[in-house]
Amino acid sequence: EDKVVQSPLSLVVHEGDTVTLNCSYEVTNFRSLLWYKQEKKAPTFLFMLTSSGIEKKSGRLSSILDKKELFSILNITATQTGDSAVYLCADTGANSKLTFGKGITLSVRP
Amino acid sequence: DVKVTQSSRYLVKRTGEKVFLECVQDMDHENMFWYRQDPGLGLRLIYFSYDVKMKEKGDIPEGYSVSREKKERFSLILESASTNQTSMYLCASSLLGGSSPLHFGNGTRLTVT
């Protein structure tokens, strides 16, 4: 059975801090690993990672995948209160099926 | 921009009622999914479909069924709603092949009393 584990489950930081969110996975027929940000409504897509060692970057957010060790990290630098959200990690296996982790609740205090 | 629309934002039903949750996407995506999201449990896959009239069970299909008569529409059916089906239900779609991300609807918060 596919499995995705995220850590920590919750995190409280102050504005300006840098945070690292972790995701480990076990999946048959791995295709990709995805990160989503969820505020009050639907999860919104952040990154899709398919190759090891290649960092993807968008503004203050970046992510990287290690297919040998089966994990990914999401980094957020110079955090802002608008970064407060639940961050979801998911892997894609057979039949395009995504398996999600439980999510990491990030709270950024002013 | 991909749009996934769920017909209801909030829904309150009684135990034993038959409940239909509707989802429509406008980007001609082959794959469609239904998840439920509960505190402490994350998103769990109920059913998915990769073509019209095709359906596959996810991780927690018990108590649910689905219908996909048209490519753009994927319906989740609760044959006889129970209180443990109170949850946030999220529909999503993606292109075939697993090489594109899921696009989610805004969710339906279902309460079964």
pLDDT in tens, B37-91: 998 888 999 999 999 999 999 999 999 999 999 999 999 999 999 999 999 999 9
Q: How many helices (H) and strands (E) does chain A have?
A: 0, 11
Q: Report chain A (110 residues): mean pLDDT per 10 consecutive residues.
A: 90 97 89 91 91 92 94 97 96 79 96
Which of A58, A100, A104, A105 is most worth mutating to test chain B (most B CB atoms within 10 A of its CB)? A100
Q: Identify the pLDDT of residue B97.
A: 62
**Alpha carbon distance A34, A48 (integer Å):** 4
- A43: cis peptide before it, omega within 30°? no
Report the residue from A34, A95, A103 with minimal CB separation from B101.
A34
Interfacial residues of A (vs B; Cβ cutoff 8 Å): 31-32, 34, 41-45, 48, 50, 88, 90, 92-93, 95-103
Tell me the three state secondary structure of residue B105: coil
Contact A88 B43 (CB under 8 A): yes
Which of B4, B30, B43 is most worth mutating to test chain A (most A CB atoms within 10 A of its CB)? B43
Q: What is the mean pLDDT of chain B?
A: 93
Q: Identify the pLDDT of residue A93.
A: 76
Q: Identify the pLDDT of residue B96.
A: 72
Q: Identify the pLDDT of residue B102.
A: 87
Q: Identify the pLDDT of residue B56.
A: 92
Give me the residue label for tokens 């630098």: A77
Q: Taking a C-beta distance cutoff of 8 angstroms, is the pair A84, A6 a contact?
A: no
